[in-house]
Structure 1
Amino acid sequence: MKFDLKTQRYVDWKVHNVTHIKNGYGYRVVLFYMDGTEVVQQKSGFSTKKAASADRDKTMGELYAGTYVVYSNVKMKDFLEFWLEEEMRPRITSGSYETYGNTVYNHIIPTIGQIKMTELKRSHVQELYKETAVRSVSVARLVKTIMNTSMRYALTKKIISVNPAQDVPLPKIVAKKEYHTRSIDVKKTLTVEQILRLIEASKDTPIHMQVLFAVLLGLRRCEINGVKYSDIDYINRTLRVERQLGKKPNTKAKDFPAKTFTKQEIKLKTPSSYRIIPIPDYVFEAILEERKIYEKNRRRRPAAFQDLDYICCSSYGRPRSKDFHWKHYKKLLQENDLPDIRWHDLRSTFCTVLLKNDFNPKAVSKLMGHAKEIITIDVYGDASEIIEDCLEELEPFIEEVLPEKEEDKTDFSEDEYVHCLEKIWA
């Protein structure tokens, strides 16, 4: 790391008078931080006292206005490396970190890495977007996201006084993408008949519980692997989603026992991901049966069994990797004449069935663990195309698979949400 940013903003400052420094004129700026530390910066190299005084007046104006640049000699390469490691790595998943890192090192740094932050202009950003878009539209969108996010951070750290990426559009060859939207192809979601066929066929595979959690509860892949029996409220028949399995930030494989690096318990994607979900009767009965198998394996292998409490685990109690389901899932689709859709599309199917049946989008957002209602509506809610052929089957499906709503069965506080759940589980 070429430099170190203070984790706090300065709270006070002092600018000394112009004086002789070496063979010219200059002055000193002292920044005071909340923890009592001070940073002294020397501004020198002026040939006349008048020039030094003019620069001093400019500095004082910037300090008063809050636009003073604290770190004036930082190159884009050094800043982005710092931003990735110190700001982003602790806050995002390992997968997102790797995606951001690849984009920074392969696309942004080679183009503008040697430019000083204080000299970065809109024209530089426009050229970066143009060069990237020629190679890949999707990468260009990601580059834009990284530039916007990192430059806003640089602004708060007083590395720049103006955000050069603000309002800089992608070139016209990149079609504008509406906020949080996605085109939902009917071929990438399952009909109700296909859902039931997949569930039935999965009973003879090691991923039956994973299928149920995805298509009937809408859980994310890494959330499914993190579900424990202790997360189940057996009285009220609810599931508390509070962890996922993945890589811990700022760690390496050598820090953990073999084959556990990607199976660490980590925080969920967003605060909204922490949620309580009513469990359909069908899923609840399956959990009880799976628990019998878990206890049987624990008795059979008392020495080797890892009693970690995961519902989706091996016969030795070990948690599943994030890609364990893939081979079994693809085989299920092929053998049962089902569309070759991604695993994540099972979660999309769960959401679109509810939205297509006119359930309140706010309630669906909470079931899905989405941060905002607009994500559920825009990403999954294209009512003109989604599951056109299963409307008549929805009611029988809901009645057959989902449980009846009992009094005080959940502790959801919002009236609208409770009302929606009553409709779903009725």
Structure 2
Amino acid sequence: MNKKPIIKPDVKESFQYGDIVSWKFRDTITPVRGKFAYRFSLTFSTGIVIPMQKGGYSTKTEALKAKEFAIAELHSKRFIPFEYTLKEFFDYWLYYYMIDERKISYHTFCSYRNVIYNYFLKTWDPNSKITDIERNDIKKGLDSIEKVSVLLLSYTVLKGAFTYAKNHQMIRINPVLTAIRMKKKAVKKAYNQALREGTIKHQKKEYPILSIPQISLLLLKCKETKAEMYIPLLLTLTTGLRISEVIAIKFSDIDWWEGELHVRRQLGRTTSNDGEADNRLCTQEVKTKSHSGERDIPLGDFVIDELIVARHKYETVQKSNPQFQDLDFVCFRENGLPYNRGNLGKSFKELLADCNLPKMRWHDLRHTYATVLKENDISLKAISVCMGHNGTGVTKDVYINLPEEIYDCEKVIGNFIIDILPQTDFVFDIQISEKDLLELLPQKVYNTVG
């Protein structure tokens, strides 16, 4: 892939020292060039000991008071040992802390980088000290963002960055929380005013949702005209998987006996530039989007049958192509390599047009999956579990505490689509019962209280 690797900027060594764990002050005040200073040393969590001196005081008494104040700040964890500019801080926080310690995904990294360097550091002076940033500066940065999605993301970035700075003694006061509250209040006030004046109308965001007959048509047409996309499309529609999860499925993830799919990974780009050498920068195996992304999903008999056919094709291509790489991916190209997220986009748009279906993103198929289940009174908790959502505390509790109740039960798995395979005299008027889709969920999921 012709993708630029992530190149980390150089940062000051002091960022790597860690937190202050102890300190030692000289008993006496030291005269320095007609002024007075106090000297001390700080020991950091990495074991590094740094000698320091604070001076410029006119009298010994003034220096002694400053020394006592510094000791008090050390005890309250408000002492700031090093000063950093905004750019120095954000370079470290994003490229070292968020990548190396938090292990953020490549797409999250790109989103955060955009907010920081294309908005905040263009509104603020990058060379100003982070200790000098006040509430009004934060608000000015937020006011520079017009797009709602970017503004919402900026709240997350600012909270994370300045909370880190406060917890690691880079700033004394965190001005972000108050500034964000002020901004949210101002946005809400402006929105309500616009509603009253009639300059805008409240519109709930809607996603294109396919009906059961449209799903059948889409699969059948795909089977006939775009066979390479059929398995990923089938899996998305019958399991609600994300496209990054679909292309990461391996045959070894399928429990053929139980008729169950184990979701344990997704494919994407890492922030460590893995895969650059063998031209697979965007198809690296990475963790699921969240802990709840690791899940077991039942498969319908029809889906199992199609996966058996896919396995037969895999073995046939493997034997016939000397260049084939045996990587075990269910959705594979002729050389055995997996698809990446962008490979299927153009073909999907063409397929929608061939079926006279509305324009939509591949991801919108997940909305179809969830909507069909919700309209048939399936618990929101159950849907969240099966889709790998981790957006609320309730969802987390269900996933963590109830896996046996949801999955260790007798599966009630029926056919999602009956006789979908094209016949010579087949017409596009397949009648599909919504119950077929519902039967893809375990029986006890039906009874989970939403």
Change (3 A) 1:51 1:224: same
Q: Are positions 1:209 and 2:220 aligned together?
A: no
- What is the rounded CA distance, in whole Å, between the counterparts of 2:252 and 2:290 in structure 1? 22
- What is the rounded CA distance, in whole Å, between the counterparts of 2:384 and 2:205 in structure 1? 17
Q: Are positions 1:257 and 2:282 aligned together?
A: no
Corresponding residue for residue 197 of structure 2: none
Corresponding residue for residue 384 of structure 1: none
5+ long unaligned stretches in structure 2: 1-9, 192-202, 397-430
The runs of at least 4 aligned residues of structure 1 exceeding 6 Å deviation read: 374-377
- What is the rounded CA distance, in whole Å, between the counterparts of 2:58 and 2:66 in structure 1? 12
Corresponding residue for residue 198 of structure 2: none
Q: Are positions 1:331 and 2:344 aligned together?
A: no
Q: Are positions 1:223 and 2:234 aligned together?
A: no
SS in 2 for 1:203: helix
Alignment of 1:239-278 (within 5 A): 239-251=261-273, 255-258=276-279, 260-278=280-298
User: What is the aligned length?
Assistant: 385
The one-letter code of the counterpart of 1:194 is Q
Corresponding residue for residue 4 of structure 2: none
SS in 1 for 2:239: coil
Following superposition, the deviation at residue 398 of structure 1 comes to: 2.7
Change (3 A) 1:404 1:248: closer
- Work out the percentage of aligned pairs sharing the same amino acid: 29
SS in 2 for 1:68: coil
Alignment of 1:5-404 (within 5 A): 5-6=15-16, 8-17=18-27, 18-71=29-82, 73-90=83-100, 91-112=103-124, 113-133=126-146, 136-169=147-180, 170=183, 174-175=187-188, 183-185=204-206, 187-204=207-224, 205=226, 206-251=228-273, 255-258=276-279, 260-301=280-321, 303-373=322-392, 396-399=433-436, 402-403=439-440
| 8 A Cα contact 1:213 1:224, kept in partner | yes
Change (3 A) 1:106 1:34: closer
Spell out, residue by residue over 1:17-44, the C-alpha distance to the aligned partner (whole angstroms, 9 max, x if none).
Answer: 4322343111133222344332233212
The one-letter code of the counterpart of 1:345 is D
Following superposition, the deviation at residue 400 of structure 1 comes to: 6.4
SS in 2 for 1:104: helix
- What is the rounded CA distance, in whole Å, between the counterparts of 1:327 and 1:360 in structure 2? 34
Spell out, residue by residue over 1:154-178, the C-alpha distance to the aligned partner (whole angstroms, 9 max, x if none).
Answer: 112110121111131326664499x
| 8 A Cα contact 1:222 1:245, kept in partner | yes
Change (3 A) 1:271 1:148: same
- What is the rounded CA distance, in whole Å, between the counterparts of 2:161 and 2:43 in structure 1? 25
Between 395-404 and 115-124, report the one with greater CA deviation: 395-404
- What is the rounded CA distance, in whole Å, between the counterparts of 2:388 and 2:259 in structure 1? 18
5+ long unaligned stretches in structure 1: 378-393, 406-417
Change (3 A) 1:9 1:229: same
Change (3 A) 1:351 1:21: farther
Following superposition, the deviation at residue 232 of structure 1 comes to: 0.5
Spell out, residue by residue over 1:92-136, the C-alpha distance to the aligned partner (whole angstroms, 9 max, x if none).
Answer: 111121121122111111222222111111111011111223xx3
SS in 1 for 2:157: helix
Spell out, residue by residue over 1:272-299, the C-alpha distance to the aligned partner (whole angstroms, 9 max, x if none).
Answer: 1111111122221111111111111112
Scaled by the length of structure 2, what TM-score is found? 0.79
SS in 2 for 1:167: helix
Following superposition, the deviation at residue 7 of structure 1 comes to: 6.2
Change (3 A) 1:335 1:109: same
The one-letter code of the counterpart of 1:357 is N
| 8 A Cα contact 1:263 1:320, kept in partner | yes
SS in 1 for 2:12: coil
Between 243-252 and 147-156, report the one with greater CA deviation: 243-252
Pairwise CA RMSD: 2.7
SS in 1 for 2:65: helix
Spell out, residue by residue over 1:167-192, the C-alpha distance to the aligned partner (whole angstroms, 9 max, x if none).
Answer: 31326664499xxxx9441x522222
Following superposition, the deviation at residue 395 of structure 1 comes to: 9.5
- What is the rounded CA distance, in whole Å, between the counterparts of 1:47 and 1:100 in structure 2? 46
- What is the rounded CA distance, in whole Å, between the counterparts of 2:372 and 2:105 in structure 1? 29
